[in-house]
């Protein structure tokens, strides 16, 4: 059903609306990166460029955005910020930083290209509860 809705939007509405709606679908109707790539591919086939943007993600979410935005049909400027814009120290290593031209490089390491830094998470943790089942 979700794929049908996205295909109908691509076929039946203006390009600007589709571009705006892609982030909605990726965020609220999607089930992960594979599904996001499927939307990317459908838009590419319809010759509709897409973009990716976020808000206050930690480095884990930002790594997902950067990986997705590295696909070839992300032809519009993406709204992905450096780690330091929102956090004094992000929870991943390496942190994301802007290149001199304002871009963020797609990581080449396996997976999302970052590692969660448990020491940083511990430093931000204010309470912890263990529930055993």
CATH at residue 7: 3.20.20.120
Peptide bond into 94 cis (omega under 30): yes
130 in any annotated domain: no
Domain residues for the domain of 77 are 2-124
pLDDT for res 3: 55
Angle between helices 2-12 and 15-24 (to 10 degrees): 160
* Residue 78 pLDDT class (50, 70, 90 cuts): confident
Count of the separate structural domains present in the chain: 1
Instruction: Give the residue among 106, 111, 28, 109 at the shortest CA–CA distance from 72.
Output: 106
CA distances from 131 to 87, 125, 128 (A): 29, 17, 10
86 in any annotated domain: yes
**Average pLDDT value over all residues in the chain:** 80
Percent of the chain residues topping a pLDDT of 90: 35
pTM for this prediction: 0.75
pLDDT for res 44: 87
129 in any annotated domain: no
* Residue 20 pLDDT class (50, 70, 90 cuts): very low
Residue pair 49/75 in contact by the 8 Å Cβ criterion: yes
């Amino acid at each position: 059903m979700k794929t049908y809705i996205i295909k109908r939007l691509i076929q039946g509405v203006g390009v600007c609306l589709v571009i705006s709606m892609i982030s909605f679908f990726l965020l609220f109707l999607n089930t992960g990166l594979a599904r996001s790539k499927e939307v990317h591919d459908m838009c590419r086939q319809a010759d509709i460029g897409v973009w990716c943007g976020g808000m206050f993600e930690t480095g884990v979410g930002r790594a997902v955005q950067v990986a997705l935005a590295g696909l070839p049909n992300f032809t519009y400027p993406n709204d992905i910020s450096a780690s330091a814009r929102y956090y004094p120290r992000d929870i991943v290593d390496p942190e994301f930083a802007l290149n001199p031209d304002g871009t963020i490089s797609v990581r080449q390491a396996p997976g999302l290209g970052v590692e969660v830094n448990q020491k940083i998470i511990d430093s931000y943790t204010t309470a912890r509860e263990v529930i055993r089942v």
